[in-house]
Amino acid sequence: MKEVFPSYYGKFKCIADKCKHSCCIGWEIDIDEAAMDLYQSLSGELAERIRTNIEGEVPHFVLDEKERCPFLNKNGLCDIISTYGEEALCDICYLHPRFSHFYEDFTETGLGLCCEEAVRLILTEKEKFSVSLPSSVRNDGFFKERNEVFEILQNRTAPMLQRFQKLAEKYGLKFDFSNDLLYDFYMSLERLDKSWENELLKLKEAKGKAVFERKDLQIFFEQLACYFIFRHFKNGVGFALLSCWVIGEICAECRSMEEMLDVVRMYSSEIEYSEENTEKVVAFFRKR
């Protein structure tokens, strides 16, 4: 089956031991059947260690007391890859941070913003976001409409604030939110990382729309919005608008691009990678 990717996709490479927020820490990894069969069939010391570190009805690796994957060694590298190669990884580890949307005769695959290298790659890219769809679907309702949304967001003759407002108007919405209300709402969601609460506190100090007019952040917000549309368009444009607003308000307090990229990474881990939180954000917007 044909698989299509955003133009930046091929540039991604996991930075492994250089990663400060490794995906091998804090996530419970479920192991698929094929990987389980492989782990049962291997012999040797590591194979034995793999088998003793799997538990549960839905088999998963047991994290250590610091919530680290037991195969993430002290050099920040994965013992399974070092010994058996990437092919021996379970699907979740092998595919992360990739996500896919499956359509009738093709698949769209992208990179998720919960990975610090993917977030850097996606949000510092200067070229406009693009994905080359099969010609058979370009005029299809869903993809045609999504392309119209990309065109609004990528109209670089207008400031980003206007682009967000135009998009909101197209759907009978407003790109304007009460940060106090948003603070209460985001604090009511399930949280993975305690430090996310400190980031949310910045919403209380935030000053509204001005951040979306900052010249140095135009491409950052354009790429961010296009990512959310690419990944979540089936949920409507509300998820993208609200997510960009919250991230923008928090980032207004950041002193460097590095800090901003970290806010996005956290937002993605906290919200996008929790099905329940994503659903609540979508529902929150619909209720307004």
For ligand SF4, the closer CB: 203 or 260: 260
| CB 251 within 8 Å of CB 211 | yes
Structure tokens at 277: 């939180």
CB of 265 to ligand SF4, least distance (A): 8
Sheet with 106-111: strands ordered across: 2-4, 106-111, 98-102
For ligand SF4, the closer CB: 94 or 103: 94
Q: Cα–Cα distance between 143 and 89 in angstroms, integer?
A: 34
For ligand SF4, the closer CB: 16 or 158: 16
Which residue carries 């021996």 as its tokens?
88
Residue type, 147: N
Residue type, 3: E
CB of 30 to ligand SF4, least distance (A): 16
CB of 4 to ligand SF4, least distance (A): 21
Q: How many C-beta neighbours within 10 Å does residue 205 have?
A: 11
CB of 283 to ligand SF4, least distance (A): 29
For ligand SF4, the closer CB: 108 or 116: 116
CB of 119 to ligand SF4, least distance (A): 9
CB of 43 to ligand SF4, least distance (A): 28
Interface residues with ligand SF4 (CB under 6 A)?
Answer: 14-16, 19, 22-23, 96-97, 115-117
Q: Cα–Cα distance between 212 and 206 in angstroms, integer?
A: 12
For ligand SF4, the closer CB: 16 or 168: 16
Residue type, 139: N
Gyration radius from the chain CA atoms: 20
Q: How many C-beta neighbours within 10 Å does residue 28 have?
A: 13
The SS3 of residue 231 is: helix
For ligand SF4, the closer CB: 83 or 218: 83
